[in-house]
Amino acid sequence: MVERKEIELIPKEIEAAKVQEVLLRRFRLASFGFFLLTLLIFGGIFAFRLSLTAQLDNLKQQSASEKAKIAQYADVESKVLGLEYKSSSVTEILSQREYLSIALSAVSASQPSGLKVTGVDVTRGENTATINGESANYVILAAFLQNLVDKDKGGALFTDALLSSVTLNSSKSKAEFVIEAAMLKNGLRKSGK
Amino acid sequence: MPTGKSFLNRPEVRTWGIPLGLFLIGILLVVLGVVPIWEEVKDLRITISSEKDRITALQEKSRKLSDLADQVEGIDKNFEVFDQAVTSESKVPELLTQIQKISDSCRVKVTAMQFGGETQKSGENSFEVRVQYASESSLSQLKCLVSSLEGASRLVDFESLRYNLGIDTETKAESVLAQSTLISYYTPEPKLLPDNPITFSLSDPQFLGNVELLKDFKVY
C-alpha cells in the first residue's frame, strides 16, 4: 500500500501572518468605527445642546416680553393685590373680632336693682371677665350671680359665675364683691360677621 | 542609544498605535465630552420646561390684568372702601382723630390717648397698630363708645377693656373711668413680582361679602 502524506504547500508562518493581518484589519476597522461613532454622538449631543440653548434664549426673550406687558399694568396690579390683601385682612379681622360690647350688655342685662357694678375687666382671647361691684345685701348678690348664667340675661355669654371675694363695707353698709365670670368660647364673636 | 524616534518606529507601535489611539480618543470623548454635555442637556431640558410653564403663567397673568384693567373703575371704588377699613400705611394721626371724633360723638372725655407701636401679624401681610386709651364718662356713654368703635369704618378692635367707677372730688358725681388698648390694622403697599399669579376676582363671593359688610360701617 502506498502511504499518503499531506504536503503543506504554504508555510505555517505565512498562514499565521495572514490571520494576524485579518485580525489587525478588523481591529483597525473596529477602532475607527468606535472613534467615528463617539465622534458622531459627541457632535450630535453638542449640536442638540446648541439648539436647546438657542431655544432657551428664545424663551427667555418671550418671557421678558411678557414681563414687559405685565409691567404696563403695574398700577392695576398694585391696586388688585392691595385689594386682595385688604379683603383677606378684613375677613380675618372680622372673623376673629371679639365684640366687647356684648360683655357690657350681658353684665347690664344681669344687673338687679340694688346692685351696682363698679368695674369690669375683659381681655380679648381670655375666656373670663372680672366683675367688681357692690350690693345692698347678699340676696341681691346671689340674684346677680344667677342672672349672669341665666340664658335670658347674661347666660347668652357667661357659662359660669364664681364669687372670688366678698367683703362687707360697714361704712357704706354694702357688700363689695369680685366675680370671675367664665365666658362661652367665641361668645364675644358675632356669627353674622 | 535609544531615542524618541526609535519608540515610534517600533513595528508593534506602528501596527497597534493608531487603532489603540483611536479607541482611547473615543473613550475620552465619551468621558470628557458626551457625559458632561448630556448632563447639561438634561438640565437645559428641565430649564426649558420650567421656562415654558413660566411663560404660560405670565401670559395668563397678563390676560387677567388686561381683563382687570377694563374694570379699573370698580377696582378703584372698592379699593377706596377697603382702604378706609384697612389702610395702606399706619396713618396714626388719622386713627387718633377717628377715635377722638367717636369719643366726642358719644360725649366721652378722653383723658389719655397714646400710640403704642405697631407689629406685623405673623404669617400675614398686615400690621397691627396699638393705641392706649383712657376716658371718663357715664356707663351709657362708654357703651356708646364701645359700640361706635366696633362699627367704625377704619376697623378698630379692643384688645382689652377695663373700667371702674370713680367719684369726682369736686362735684361728687360718679363717673366711669375706662382704660383700654385698641388695635387698628394696615396692609403695606404690595411688592409686585412678575411671577406672582393674580388670583383675585371682583366676583369672588368672600370679597363681595366683605364689600356688603363694610357698607354698614360708619365713616367718622
ipTM of the predicted structure? Answer: 0.82
Residue B62 sits in the same domain as residue B127 = no
Hey, of B51, B70, B76, which one would you mutate to test binding to chain A, going by the most A CBs within 10 A of its CB? B51
Mean pLDDT of chain A: 91
Residue A80 belongs to some domain of the structure: no
Q: Tell me which of B70, B101, B125 is where a domain ends.
A: B70
What element of type H or E holds B65?
helix B35-69
Residue B102 belongs to some domain of the structure: yes
Number of domains in chain B: 2
For residues B31 and B67, what is the distance between their CA atoms, to the nearest angstrom? Answer: 54
Residue B153: domain span: 86-189+201-215
**Cell numbers representing residue A169 in the block:** 363695707
Task: Tell me what pLDDT residue B4 has.
Answer: 52
Domain with A114 in it: what CATH number?
A: 3.30.1360.100
Residue B66 sits in the same domain as residue B90 = no
Task: Tell me what pLDDT residue B9 has.
Answer: 79
What are B149-189's pLDDT values in tens digits?
A: 999 999 999 999 999 998 877 777 889 999 999 999 999 98
Residue B24 belongs to some domain of the structure: yes
Residue B107 sits in the same domain as residue B208 = yes
Residue A95 belongs to some domain of the structure: no
Q: Residue B44: which of A52, A92, A121 has the nearest Cβ?
A: A52
Mark yes or no for CB contact B213/A94 under 8 Å. yes
Q: What is the pLDDT along chain B (220 residues), one digit of tens a residue?
A: 455 567 777 877 878 888 899 999 999 999 999 999 999 999 999 999 999 999 999 999 999 999 999 999 999 999 999 999 999 999 999 999 999 999 999 999 999 999 999 999 877 788 999 999 999 999 999 999 999 999 999 999 999 999 999 887 777 788 999 999 999 999 998 889 999 999 988 899 999 999 999 998 999 8
Residues of chain A falling short of pLDDT 70: 1-9, 191-193
Task: Tell me what pLDDT residue A192 has.
Answer: 44
Residue B80 belongs to some domain of the structure: no
Residue B58 sits in the same domain as residue B105 = no
Residue B154 belongs to some domain of the structure: yes
> Got the DSSP string for B96-111?
HHHHHHHHHHTTPEEE
Q: Residue B51: which of A59, A104, A122 has the nearest Cβ?
A: A59
B205-215 helix and A74-96 helix, angle to the nearest 10 degrees: 70
Residue A1 belongs to some domain of the structure: no
Residue A19: domain span: 12-59
CB B140 within 8 A of CB B115: no
Residue A25 belongs to some domain of the structure: yes
Task: Tell me what pLDDT residue A44 has.
Answer: 96
- Per cent of chain B over pLDDT 90 is 77
What element of type H or E holds A15?
helix A12-72
Task: Tell me what pLDDT residue A6 has.
Answer: 66
Residue B64 sits in the same domain as residue B107 = no
Number of domains in chain A: 2
Residue B151 sits in the same domain as residue B42 = no
Beta-carbon contacts below 8 Å between A and B = 217
